[in-house]
Chain A
C-alpha cells in the first residue's frame, strides 16, 4: 500500500490534481445554449495540501468538484472540449467509465453536505462504510474489521454499536463522521469535501474540521474543501480559490486572499460575512441618519420605560417519555425572558437546545406545562377572545426556509391578500394597495405580486416571508433562523432590512439562531440556551466579550473566525 501510494504521488512537481480550463454547460442541444455553469476553471492541488473553493450558491463550486470524479450526469451536463483534469498524472477527461469507477472511492473520496440524506436510510452504517472495500474484493470478515477500525479512527463513540446502527439512529455529527470513514475507506489520495460542516452545530463543526485536519496530516491526502463559509475555509485551507458565476475570480494563499483580497467580489464577500468581533457594520449597511438608530436601541436597553410586550415566566415544556418509568423529557425548562418593542433579543443555541420549542410557546402554538406566557402583562390563557385575536396579530413569525413556508400554487399577491382577508384587514381595492405597500416596505417591486414563489430568489422569498408577517401590523416578530438558508451577501441585506423595519415600525424581535456571529450583528441582548435552559443572558457586548458561562465560552471558541482584513 505504502509503495503504491508513493508511486501515485510521484508526479513531476508533487501536483496531485491539475484542473485546466474546465468548462461545463447544460442544455447544449438548444440553439440559445446558455452560458457555461463552470467557465474555464483552472486550479492545482498538491498532495498534503488543502484548497478551499469558496463561493455563494449557484457559483458552480459543487459542480466543479463533482465533475472531477465525473459524478455529474452527462447529459444534460457536458464537459466542453479543451477541458482538462489531470489527477496523479492521468488525464480524466475522456477516461473510460470503468476507469472512472475505479478511481471513485479508491483514489478520490467524497464527503457530502447533508449526512442524513447522503447516507442510505435502509442500510446499516457499517455496511455502508465497508461497501467500497467489499466492491473491491475484500472478504466479508476483512470488510467488517476494517469498517470498525475506520469508525474508531473517526472517533465515533462505541464504533461497534454505530456499525450496526442505521443512519437515523446517529446524531448529525456522528453521521458526518461515518461519512468521512466511508470516504477514506480505500485510502484515497484526494478527498473532496462539499460543504462538510454546513448542516452541523458550531461545536460539532469544529470537531469535524479537526478530524479532517488530523486525517490529512496522518495520510498526506490532498483536500479540496468546498464551502460558502469563509470563516470555515480560512480556518483549514492552505490556499483559497474564490468562485463567482462559474469563474474563479481570485486564487492565492489563505493569508493573502483574506488579508489582502485583490478582487472586488472577494472584498464584498468578506465585508458581508458576519463576525463575532463587531456588531452593526456589515456589508452594504447604509449609515442611518445620525441619531435615529442608537436612539431606538438605547430606548430598549434603558431601564424599561416602554412596557414589556411579550414575557415568559418560568416556562417549561415537558414531553411524556415513551416508557412510564423514564418520566418526562424537558424540551424547555424554567425559562424566563422579556421582549420589549424596538428591542432585539437574540436567542442562540445548538440544535436540540429547545429554541424552536420556546418559539412555539411564545407564539401560543403550544402550551407550557409549567409557568406562563404574558402578552402585555396578561397571561395567554386569560386573554379572552378579543385579547387572543389581538395577540395573534401582534406576535408574528418569520420562518427559516422561505421556500418551504410559501404555498407554491399561490402568487405572492394572493398569499399576502389571504393574510389580510383572514384577519379582516383592508378589503377590496384597499387590499391591493396594501399588498403593494407591503412589498415596497420590504424593498421589493410591487409588480412582484403576480409572481410565484419558485420564480424568486432565496433573499426575495425571505422578504416575502417578512412582508407576510408585517401584513397584520405586529408588534413582535419571532424570527426562527431567518437567514440561515441564505448566502452571506443576501444574509447581510436581510438583516439590514430587519433593522430598518425595527427603526421604522418599532418592532420587537426575538431573533433565534444557531449562528453566533449573525446574532452578534443584530441583537441588543442575547440569551444562550442549552438543553432547554437559558444558561446565560445579558447585553450582547457583555455576553460576547466576557462570557460568564462555560458553555458560552466553548460555543464562542468553536466559531471559526476570519483573519482581520488589512
Chain B
C-alpha cells in the first residue's frame, strides 16, 4: 500500500485538475485543496490516510465528490458479477474441453481444440472485446441474436418482471464474460488436458477398469476428481489475471464496475479512490486464494487438517 501511495504521488498531475475551469476561481481551488488536506506535507497526508484507512474510513473521492465507501459499494457487486461469471466460464469450459481432449487424445477433435485453444490464448482481451462488439453490432450479425454491447441493464430494466430482469442481466453479461473468460479458459483447458492424461496412467485407473466399470464411470468418478487437484490451485493464479482484464473489458463494454472505476480514478488523480479500489482488488485476490485452498482440501482428503 505504501509503495502504491508513493508511486501515485510521484506521478505528475494535480487532483484538482478536473475542476480547472474558467468559472472556478483560483481561491476556490485553494480552498478545496485545503479541505482535502492536499496542502499538507506528503508524509502527514500519508499518516492521516493510513490512520483513517485502518479504522475503515476510506476517505472522500475528489472526482466523484462522494465518500469512497459509497462509490465502491455500487461498483463492487457489478465487478463480482462479471468476475464470477468469467471465473465460472474459465473453469467450466476449460475443464470440459480439457477432459474431452484427454479422453480422445490425438484424435482430430483433440488436435482441433488444441489449435483453437492456442489461438484464443494468444488473443489479447482488449482485441477480442472490441472485435466482439464490432461483430455483434454489425449488419452481418442476425437481428434475432442481437446482444447488448454496453452497460449492465436495459433502459426499461426497472419496469421488468423478475424473470425478465434475470434474462436481461444475463444478456448483458454474455459478451463481456466471453471476452474476459475465453482466453483463460483456453489456458485451463491445456492444464486440464495434461492433468487428465497424467491421471489416466495412474494405477488406480487400472484398478477401476479391473472392477469392470464403464469407461464413463472410470473417467468421471476416478480420473476427473484426481485431475482437478492441480487445476484447482490455478483458480488463485487466474483471478488476478481476470481482474486485470476486467479493467479493459469494463471500459469496452461500459460496465460500471471496479475496473472502470480504477481507470477513471487514476486519470483523475483521485488518490483516495485509487488506494481503496486497489486495496479491495488485493483483498479479493487473497480471498480467491483462500477459496482455492478450501476447495482443495474439500476435494483432496490427504491434506485435510484434523
A: residues with CB less than 8 A from B are: 66, 69, 71, 101-106, 109-110, 112, 114, 117-123, 131-132, 135-136, 166, 168, 179, 182-183, 185-186
Contacts of A105 in B (CB 8 A): 210-213
Contact of B212 among A101, A118, A179 (CB under 8 A): A101
Contact of B204 among A103, A121, A183 (CB under 8 A): A121
Is B222 interfacial (CB 8 A cutoff)?
yes
Contacts of A168 in B (CB 8 A): 301-302
Least CB distance from B300 to A in Å reads 6
Q: Are A120 and B302 in contact (CB under 8 A)?
A: no
Contact of A110 among B207, B299, B302 (CB under 8 A): B207
Q: Are B206 and A71 in contact (CB under 8 A)?
A: yes
Is B27 interfacial (CB 8 A cutoff)?
no
Q: Are B214 and A135 in contact (CB under 8 A)?
A: yes
Contacts of A121 in B (CB 8 A): 204, 226, 300-302
Q: Are B204 and A120 in contact (CB under 8 A)?
A: yes
Contacts of B48 in A (CB 8 A): none
Q: Are A135 and B213 in contact (CB under 8 A)?
A: yes
Q: Are A132 and B203 in contact (CB under 8 A)?
A: no
Contacts of B210 in A (CB 8 A): 69, 71, 104-105, 109-110, 112, 183
Is B174 interfacial (CB 8 A cutoff)?
no
Is B76 interfacial (CB 8 A cutoff)?
no
- A66, closest chain B residue (CB): B206
Most-contacted residue by chain A among B202, B210, B222, B300 (CB, 10 A): B210
Query: CA separation between A66 and B209, bound complex, in Å?
Result: 11
With A112-B203, A114-B203, A117-B204 known to touch, is A122 a contact of B211 (CB < 8 Å)? no
Is B217 interfacial (CB 8 A cutoff)?
yes
Most-contacted residue by chain A among B209, B214, B226 (CB, 10 A): B209
Q: Are B299 and A122 in contact (CB under 8 A)?
A: yes
Contact of B207 among A101, A119, A136, A185 (CB under 8 A): A119
Contacts of B203 in A (CB 8 A): 112, 114, 117-118
Q: Are A131 and B213 in contact (CB under 8 A)?
A: yes
Q: Are A117 and B202 in contact (CB under 8 A)?
A: yes
With A112-B203, A114-B203, A168-B301 known to touch, is A120 a contact of B212 (CB < 8 Å)? no
Q: Are B226 and A122 in contact (CB under 8 A)?
A: yes
Q: Are A135 and B212 in contact (CB under 8 A)?
A: yes
Query: CA separation between A182 and B208, bound complex, in Å?
Result: 10
- A122, closest chain B residue (CB): B225
Least CB distance from A510 to B in Å reads 33
Q: Are A119 and B204 in contact (CB under 8 A)?
A: yes
Query: CA separation between A405 and B21, bound complex, in Å?
Result: 74
Query: CA separation between A114 and B203, bound complex, in Å?
Result: 8
Contacts of B226 in A (CB 8 A): 120-122
Q: Are B300 and A122 in contact (CB under 8 A)?
A: yes
- B209, closest chain A residue (CB): A71
With A112-B207, A122-B300, A166-B301 known to touch, is A103 a contact of B202 (CB < 8 Å)? no
Contact of B211 among A66, A117, A182 (CB under 8 A): A182
Give the secondary structure class of B's interface. helix
Query: CA separation between A523 and B206, bound complex, in Å?
Result: 40
Q: Are B301 and A122 in contact (CB under 8 A)?
A: yes
- A183, closest chain B residue (CB): B210
Contacts of B221 in A (CB 8 A): 123, 131
With A123-B222, A131-B213, A135-B214 known to touch, is A112 a contact of B206 (CB < 8 Å)? yes
Query: CA separation between A121 and B203, bound complex, in Å?
Result: 11
Contacts of B299 in A (CB 8 A): 122
- A114, closest chain B residue (CB): B203
Least CB distance from A167 to B in Å reads 9
Known A103-B212, A105-B212, A136-B212; further 12 A-B contacts with Cβ < 8 A: A101-B213, A101-B214, A104-B211, A104-B212, A112-B206, A112-B207, A121-B300, A123-B222, A135-B211, A135-B217, A166-B301, A185-B211
Q: Are B212 and A166 in contact (CB under 8 A)?
A: no
- B205, closest chain A residue (CB): A120
- A69, closest chain B residue (CB): B210
Contacts of B229 in A (CB 8 A): 122
Within 8 A of A (CB), among B275-306: 299-302
Q: Which 5 A-B pairs have the closest CB atoms?
A: A105-B212, A104-B212, A110-B210, A105-B211, A132-B211
Query: CA separation between A101 and B216, bound complex, in Å?
Result: 12
Contacts of B207 in A (CB 8 A): 110, 112, 118-120, 179, 182
Contacts of A71 in B (CB 8 A): 206, 209-210
Query: CA separation between A424 and B211, bound complex, in Å?
Result: 57
What are 28 A-B interface contacts by the 8 Å CB criterion? A71-B210, A101-B214, A104-B209, A104-B210, A104-B212, A105-B210, A105-B212, A110-B207, A114-B203, A117-B202, A117-B203, A117-B204, A118-B207, A119-B204, A120-B208, A121-B204, A121-B226, A121-B300, A121-B301, A122-B302, A123-B221, A123-B222, A131-B211, A131-B221, A132-B211, A135-B214, A136-B212, A186-B212
Query: CA separation between A112 and B226, bound complex, in Å?
Result: 20
Q: Are B301 and A132 in contact (CB under 8 A)?
A: no
Contacts of A101 in B (CB 8 A): 212-214
Least CB distance from A148 to B in Å reads 18
Query: CA separation between A123 and B205, bound complex, in Å?
Result: 12
Query: CA separation between A201 and B67, bound complex, in Å?
Result: 70
Within 8 A of A (CB), among B175-212: 202-204, 206-212
Least CB distance from A8 to B in Å reads 16
Query: CA separation between A468 and B229, bound complex, in Å?
Result: 38
Contacts of B211 in A (CB 8 A): 104-105, 131-132, 135, 182, 185
- A132, closest chain B residue (CB): B211
Least CB distance from A324 to B in Å reads 16
Query: CA separation between A487 and B213, bound complex, in Å?
Result: 34
Contacts of A186 in B (CB 8 A): 212
Most-contacted residue by chain A among B202, B203, B226 (CB, 10 A): B203
Query: CA separation between A69 and B204, bound complex, in Å?
Result: 16
Contacts of A166 in B (CB 8 A): 301-302
Least CB distance from B129 to A in Å reads 38
Query: CA separation between A71 and B214, bound complex, in Å?
Result: 13
Least CB distance from A123 to B in Å reads 7
